[in-house]
Amino acid sequence: MSLIHPTALIDPSASLDSTVEVGPYTVIGPHVKIGAGTTVGAHCVIEGHTTIGRDNRIFQFNSLGAIPQDKKYAGEPCELVIGDRNTIREFCTFNIGSPGDKGVTRVGDDNWIMAYVHLAHDCTVGNKTIFANNTQLAGHVEVGDWVIFGGFTVVHQFVRIGPHAMTAMCSLLFADVPPFVMTQGQPAGARSMNFEGLRRRGYSAERIAAVKAMHKALYRDDLTLEQATARIDALRTERPEAAEDVELMLGFLRGTSAQRGIVR
């Protein structure tokens, strides 16, 4: 029995693995590629230069690969690239990239994306993230691995969210969120570090203690960002067991623009 519902409209030029399932009334355009084991629900539209990997679960009523909501866009062949084993729930909208940036909107692997999530043009999402319902990302946002967004989180364009960060429900982000930081508010401020999430991911007590020390430097000791960065840099030798975590934080802080800054 065919895995493609007879009411689905699939352009002959689209490339779908023979194991892909497509539900009723879904429309798939000519430049779409979908890998093995992926399922696409009913009433979806997948268009543009969109590449989707293996074993994704795409629920009904999604719009993937539409042109960016950018007045400067003039039909350039920009892309949407989605990795493997992602769950994309109902009514999500993922746009392709724009020629003013990378030209690619990219989603990694093993992400859990709930209903009504919007990924604007040129967003980059890592692996193993969770997007609760109605998370909205403006253009050019970068999201690290293991990030968790509370429902109705809204992120300003060009903001970066570091790995293992977490937002509370209804957070409004105008500044970068460093790794491990938990934020809440409108605009969002730093409230703590995501200690429970780190424990669940197998972080040792020693590594968590180093994350606490970084939190103290950034948010508790009334230091400038430059002074806090120097304090964190010293942890590389003071806490060698957490050198990887310290390097993650330093790399993020050194990539923060003066215009955007970090949540404080």
Residues labelled catalytic: 121-122, 139
Between CA 141 and CA 121 the distance in angstroms is: 9
Task: Give the Å distances, CA to CA, from 17 to 36, 39, 51, 167.
Answer: 5, 11, 12, 37
Record the tokens describing residue 206, joined without a space: 């020693």
Closest CA to 37 of 87, 78, 1, 77: 87
In angstroms, the CA 13 to CA 33 distance is 9
> Within 13 Å and on the Cβ side, how many CA atoms surround 258?
1
CA distance 61 to 118: 13
**Cβ atoms of 143 and 158 closer than 8 Å:** no
